[in-house]
């Protein structure tokens, strides 16, 4: 029988593409319409994603434990139903409060259950020696959604309206994503008589990697170093990426190109080009993670993100602006892969769901700070200073990440 591990990777890629694309990458494209129709401010809209991150962190604590004990497939299918209900609900909101509530509940539970948290656990169940590369390929969906969806969705908003766009998103989850999970996801290779990495001779299990209690993670120095390094990285990345289209407009990049009869705004192209860097970064850093000490690729990733932010903040030439967007994307593209791979190497696949969920207690409360800070800075016309601060904060992550030593 053909090895099914890569089937899990490509299925996970589809889930990542949709969940992150629908929640994150498409959301900034709706800002103008949401401000007009709901009377929302920039800081309120940034707050919707902040609430999503915080609430999903709380949900991930419980979801991670469930993923270590129960069927990944069943959790993903239930998550898909909850996620679709959230998307359908957004199309009917009449106030910014309703939008915030949906992001903090239905999307915060359904997103991780259908997307990254479950996908990471699924891929880790099927790979060990090639886990970095497999996680990187699965996570391509996260950034690839940022390449494709903004270009497709931006004109769609004008054609059918933002409410109908969310209806389309919900229908995609119901009629495509949930059936895909139902027919293609297999929890472990042992279920069908296969082995991790398609290797019959498996490494001797490490008894120190039995299922750990939650309190034991907080006693582990490596857990704190990994969590804090990526907390600062995600803080800076979220603040810049969420506001990149608006920053592009403020820089004067307002032209619209027509390619094969399809309109593409300069702002959307730069946004998508950053996401394209993320696609490359995931594979590149996944490859490095399988071959180098974990702190080395983490430091390279942080350096790229910081350089990219400094460049896209200070440069007003569009060609160089897009180049720095790409470098920024290369950096943040590797973050999710490297974080998952670091936790996998440190705690084993047995504990990956739990440790990812518990780490969210540290990472997520910090992560939205960047979004709210930059959103508020835009309202105060201090966004350039806030972008430079995000670049400096990434360097704090660089310093902490240099201490990630896993033996």
Reported as a single tens digit per residue, the pLDDT across 143-181 is: 788 778 888 888 888 889 999 999 999 999 999 999 999
Q: What is the mean pLDDT of residues 217-230?
A: 93
Q: Is the pLDDT of residue 365 over 80?
A: no
Provide φ and ψ at 258, rounded to 5°: -120, 115
Q: Is the pLDDT of residue 210 over 70?
A: no
Measured CA to CA, the distance from residue 332 to residue 314 in angstroms comes to 19
Q: What is the mean pLDDT of residues 231-251?
A: 87
Measured CA to CA, the distance from residue 39 to residue 146 in angstroms comes to 26
Q: Is the pLDDT of residue 112 over 70?
A: yes
User: pLDDT tier at 215 (50, 70, 90 boundaries)?
Assistant: confident
* Distant-in-sequence, close-in-space partners of 343: CB < 8 Å, separation ≥ 6: 226, 352, 355, 356, 359
Provide φ and ψ at 113, rounded to 5°: -70, -35
* pLDDT given for residue 17 in this prediction: 93
Q: Is the pLDDT of residue 43 over 80?
A: no
What is the C-alpha R_g of the chain? 20
* pLDDT given for residue 361 in this prediction: 77
Give kind and range of the element (H or E) at residue 394: helix 383-401
Highest mean pLDDT among 204-218, 249-263, 318-332: 318-332
Q: Is the pLDDT of residue 136 over 50?
A: yes
Q: Would you say 45 and 174 are in contact if contact means Cβ atoms under 8 Å apart?
A: no
Secondary structure (DSSP) of 16-59: HHHHHIIIIISGGGGHHHHHHHH---HHHHHHHHHHHHHHHHHH
Residue 255: alpha-carbon gap to chain centroid = 29
CA triple 77-78-80, angle to 5 deg: 65
Measured CA to CA, the distance from residue 9 to residue 198 in angstroms comes to 14
Q: What is the mean pLDDT of residues 56-77?
A: 88
* pLDDT given for residue 369 in this prediction: 83
Of the candidates 23, 50, 37, 54, the one whose C-alpha atom is nearest the C-alpha of residue 96 is: 37
* pLDDT given for residue 181 in this prediction: 95
User: pLDDT tier at 300 (50, 70, 90 boundaries)?
Assistant: very high
* pLDDT given for residue 207 in this prediction: 43
Q: What is the dihedral of CA 208, 210, 215, 218, to 10 degrees?
A: 50
Measured CA to CA, the distance from residue 54 to residue 368 in angstroms comes to 8
- Which of 30-44, 76-90, 317-331 comes out lowest in average pLDDT? 30-44
Secondary structure (DSSP) of 201-252: SPPPP-GGGSPPPHHHHHT-HHHHHHHHHHHHHHHHHHHHHHTHHHHHHHTT
Where does residue 53 rank: exposed (0-12), middle (13-18), buried (19+ CB within 10 A)? buried
Helical ranges in 258-351 per DSSP H: 266-289, 295-314, 318-333, 335-347
Measured CA to CA, the distance from residue 117 to residue 201 in angstroms comes to 28
Measured CA to CA, the distance from residue 4 to residue 189 in angstroms comes to 8
How far CA 39 is from CA of 1, 22, 151, 250, in Å, comes to 57, 22, 26, 21
Higher pLDDT, 197 or 78: 78
Measured CA to CA, the distance from residue 194 to residue 4 in angstroms comes to 8
User: pLDDT tier at 209 (50, 70, 90 boundaries)?
Assistant: low
pTM: 0.74
Secondary structure (DSSP) of 314-330: H---HHHHHHHHHHHHH
Residue with tokens 């959790």: 75
Reported as a single tens digit per residue, the pLDDT across 177-199 is: 999 999 999 999 999 898 888 87
Architecture of domain 8-188+214-401: Up-down Bundle (1.20)
* Distant-in-sequence, close-in-space partners of 74: CB < 8 Å, separation ≥ 6: none
- Cβ atoms within 10 Å, residue 217: 23
**Which long-range contacts (C-beta less than 8 Å, at least 24 apart) are formed by 160-164?**
161/33, 162/30, 162/33, 162/34, 162/37, 163/90, 163/91, 163/92, 164/91
Measured CA to CA, the distance from residue 271 to residue 279 in angstroms comes to 13
């Amino acid at each position: 029988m053909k090895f099914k591990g890569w089937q899990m990777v490509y299925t996970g890629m589809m889930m990542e593409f949709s969940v992150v694309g629908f929640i994150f990458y498409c959301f900034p494209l709706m800002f103008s319409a949401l401000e007009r129709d709901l009377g929302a401010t920039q800081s309120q809209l940034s707050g919707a994603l902040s609430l999503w991150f915080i609430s999903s962190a709380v949900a991930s604590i419980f979801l991670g434990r469930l993923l270590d004990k129960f069927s990944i497939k069943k959790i993903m299918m239930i998550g898909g139903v909850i996620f679709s209900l959230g998307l359908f609900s957004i199309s009917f909101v009449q106030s910014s409060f309703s939008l915030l509530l949906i992001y903090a509940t239905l999307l915060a539970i359904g997103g991780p259950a259908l997307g990254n948290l479950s996908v990471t656990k699924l891929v880790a169940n099927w790979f060990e020696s090639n886990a970095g590369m497999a996680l990187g390929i699965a996570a391509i969906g996260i950034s690839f959604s940022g390449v494709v969806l903004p270009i497709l969705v931006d004109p769609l908003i004008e054609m059918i309206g933002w409410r109908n766009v969310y209806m389309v998103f919900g229908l995609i989850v119901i009629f495509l994503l949930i059936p895909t999970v139902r027919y293609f996801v297999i929890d472990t290779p042992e279920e069908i008589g296969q082995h991790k990495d398609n290797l019959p001779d498996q490494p001797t299990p490490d008894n120190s990697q039995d299922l750990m209690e939650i309190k034991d993670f907080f006693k582990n120095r490596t857990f704190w170093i990994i969590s804090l390094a990526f907390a600062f990285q995600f803080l800076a990345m979220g603040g810049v990426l969420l506001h990149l289209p608006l920053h592009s407009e403020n820089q004067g990049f307002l032209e619209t190109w027509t390619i094969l009869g399809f309109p593409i705004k300069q702002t959307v192209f730069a946004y998508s080009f950053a996401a394209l860097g993320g696609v490359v970064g995931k594979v590149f850093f996944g490859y490095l993670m399988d071959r180098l000490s974990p702190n080395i690729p983490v430091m390279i990733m942080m350096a790229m993100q910081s350089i990219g932010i400094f460049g896209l903040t200070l440069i007003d030439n569009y060609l160089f602006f897009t180049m720095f967007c790409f470098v920024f994307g290369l950096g943040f593209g590797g973050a999710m892969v490297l974080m998952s791979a670091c936790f996998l190497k440190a705690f084993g696949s047995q504990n990956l769901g739990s440790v990812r969920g518990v780490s969210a207690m540290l990472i997520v409360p910090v992560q939205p700070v960047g979004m709210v800070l930059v959103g508020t800075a835009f309202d105060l016309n201090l966004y350039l200073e806030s972008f430079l601060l995000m670049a400096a904060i990434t360097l704090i992550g660089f310093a902490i990440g240099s201490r990630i030593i896993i033996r």
